[in-house]
Structure 1
């Protein structure tokens, strides 16, 4: 379930995540920095107070106990074993002992930080006077020197933490702003692509999304989108062209059928009902043939590559030739020693050879030759008849849906004109080609398909 306060924009999400992470990291760094600065200042104060204490103790000699150091910042006290102040510097005079308890024999030098209620903390060093000096001046009673200094205002008033917190917040804000700008600059091409996509409609598929330079993911997305739009544009154009031609082809027989039925209703006494029914059946058969061809074309266009399997073209060429028992004879010649295997849909490839053989037998005078061989990485199947051939200007037109040349309409009046178009679509779906090439006599249809290894390489790209 999405969080209600989660921002929708990727830019905002990235900036928020960057802000949270940077705040956590910088807070940890700031905490460590605060401890390091405090430790450094305290260490410096310990060294200074130790120096003051040891210098005063070193001055205690035969001439007696010298006056305490007179530095205005130094808090120095001489205390006895009951922790009573014997003498003190001007800054520490009249005050209670700086610390307690009294230093023991085993730890004669101690560093302490004392924080009296309501007062500034004192960083001090407690040094026990040497036994020789204690016997000389106080009859062996232990004495100690407390030397301290008040913490600097930077530490005592928590200004250090305040400055570090302000620095952490400023750096977090700067990092968040930089992340926002960087993410916005990165996503700018995505916004441009989105704006352009919103302008694209089915009525106008000529627009393309802007392609940023480089090879990053956004550039690849733009190139993939434009490639998809190219394929979609071609597909929509083909569908529109196909739909217009189908509607044109179906309109004529349906209009004729309606006219015949209306005449049969209006002129019942003058119309033979059986003849009307026979004519209607022939018309519906033609419509059904067109619809069946249309469904076959749709299946070829939507067939998945997962349905493909290894197919031996030599085998299906011989099987299809053997099945053509009517009409002129069909001869198969194999020009490849190790067989010709491709990756494809066996049923669809058999349909291609069937249509090519039916077309060749329809126009041949005495024979049809089928030649199966190889050319580089392609399998080549040639269907050659000895008929009148196809004029160069019509060699591409014959593959258009519902296009039927004059000789074709004469030889097969009931044809739909979709056979060769279906063959071309099947060849394209198998990453191959189908074309009409030059021939000394008759029509020469050449089908080229990638061999098995080459086809598998194309599918893995």
Structure 2
């Protein structure tokens, strides 16, 4: 069964790969050592043979006196009979056979006897002019060698090399296991901390290692995600709390009026009670519709955008308004990509809000500012205090003047308008104005509209 631990898998894979590499290196090392030792032995034996041969004179063939570890020296005749030998080679038959041929005078041989001993030797055929001077032309040869050393005669080298290969592969695997463990330690800490985080407490953060590697980026991304999640859950909790409060008040009033109608049937007009209940349910429906709209904008998948002529859209919507006059001044051919229904809803909310607070007139302008279409909704009312300019976009937030002018409002219109702006990669803010409240909606123009607007300037 394959180990499940990533650390163990990495260490095992590394150990197997290193074992293959070290095995190849071990074989190469073994062969290299053997070749080096044999080459040294052959050269040493050849030197001993040539030195002994150089000391021979006609009628005088001295007994060799080994000056090195090459102690087996023999002079043999043409029938491979030993003529003279060193003390160590006395009473031994010829070390090898046959004699080297004339075309290959020097041969390196390893001869092994039945008893298991092996000799590393050089067979040197004497040159013809030397045989003529010393032996009257009879072929002779010199054998020089020594017993095969233990490093070649046994498997010690192979066993030592195999042990070294296994040890090196084991150390390499352990080192990789240790390094992988150190690398994955932050991941284990992140996992442990993530397991402690619950919905009830999203303030915890995973440990974030220093540096810019992938694990540090993972920790940073996890903390950013947790921060966004904490903010979203906090907003949802606040939203749920506000929604429950907004629904609880009219629901309590509805229940009280119905109970009163049941308890005091002779004193309470049932038709009035039913009419009041219908008004309350209409308010419920308005609040629920706005809540669903706001939730849809925040969580739903974006629909495929379509080109929308923003100037034409503003002119059409302002033409449908009733009550306080709305004057529109829209530049032509300002096209944005978006959801037409959502944009209509956002514009309607802004215009209705402006009419609610205006004294005599509302002005709506549409113009281009760089790569953006800018919609400005300006009323001539009392305006919005600087500290309230962001609060008005929060769900269910209604300033005192707004509650007085429209007691039945839900307080979600501006929040929906800002959500629509955000869904279209735009912005909605309250900006400074000499008089009244000035709401500014900025939406990016589509690429074709930008090109059209640039051509006349060129």
Both proteins in one fold, TM over 0.5: yes
**Could you tell me which residue of structure 1 aligns to residue 324 of structure 2?**
328
Greater mean alpha carbon deviation, residues 400-409 or residues 413-422: 400-409
- Mapped pair 1:436 → 2:433: no
**Could you tell me which residue of structure 2 aligns to residue 20 of structure 1?**
16
8 A contact 1:389–1:442 mirrored in 2: yes
Q: Equivalents in 1 of 2:85, 2:304: separation in Å?
A: 101
* 206, 210, 223: which one aligns with 1:209: 206
- Mapped pair 1:192 → 2:189: yes
* 72, 76, 81: which one aligns with 1:75: 72
Query: Considering only aligned residues, what root-mean-square deviation do their CA atoms show, in Å?
Result: 3.2
Is the partner of 1:446 in helix, strand or coil? strand
Equivalent residues, number: 446
**Could you tell me which residue of structure 1 aligns to residue 390 of structure 2?**
396
CA 1:329–1:434 in structure 2 vs 1: closer, same or farther (change >3 Å)?
Answer: same
Matches within 5 A, 1:62-101: 62-70=58-66, 73-101=70-98
**Could you tell me which residue of structure 1 aligns to residue 456 of structure 2?**
none
- Mapped pair 1:364 → 2:358: yes
Q: CA deviation at 1:311?
A: 4.9
Q: Equivalents in 2 of 1:101, 1:347: separation in Å?
A: 109
Residues 367-417 of structure 1: CA deviation (Å, up to 9, x unaligned):
322222344555432111223433444333321211223443344443221
Is the partner of 1:90 in helix, strand or coil? coil
Q: Equivalents in 1 of 2:158, 2:243: separation in Å?
A: 81
**Could you tell me which residue of structure 1 aligns to residue 415 of structure 2?**
421
* 30, 45, 57: which one aligns with 2:26: 30
Q: Equivalents in 2 of 1:96, 1:413: separation in Å?
A: 129
Is the partner of 1:91 in helix, strand or coil? coil
Residues 330-387 of structure 1: CA deviation (Å, up to 9, x unaligned):
333246x8x5455544443332212112222333343322222344555432111223
Matches within 5 A, 1:375-386: 375=369, 378-386=372-380
CA 1:307–1:126 in structure 2 vs 1: closer, same or farther (change >3 Å)?
Answer: farther
**Could you tell me which residue of structure 2 aligns to residue 153 of structure 1?**
150
- Mapped pair 1:55 → 2:51: yes
**Could you tell me which residue of structure 2 aligns to residue 242 of structure 1?**
239
8 A contact 1:78–1:87 mirrored in 2: yes
Normalization by structure 1: what TM-score? 0.84
- Mapped pair 1:179 → 2:163: no
**Could you tell me which residue of structure 2 aligns to residue 293 of structure 1?**
290
CA 1:115–1:361 in structure 2 vs 1: closer, same or farther (change >3 Å)?
Answer: farther
CA 1:247–1:49 in structure 2 vs 1: closer, same or farther (change >3 Å)?
Answer: same
8 A contact 1:73–1:91 mirrored in 2: no
Q: CA deviation at 1:239?
A: 0.2
8 A contact 1:52–1:69 mirrored in 2: no
Q: Equivalents in 2 of 1:309, 1:273: separation in Å?
A: 51
8 A contact 1:78–1:88 mirrored in 2: yes
* 41, 55, 59: which one aligns with 2:37: 41
Q: CA deviation at 1:192?
A: 2.8
8 A contact 2:312–2:330 mirrored in 1: no
CA 1:181–1:341 in structure 2 vs 1: closer, same or farther (change >3 Å)?
Answer: farther
* 356, 381, 387: which one aligns with 2:381: 387
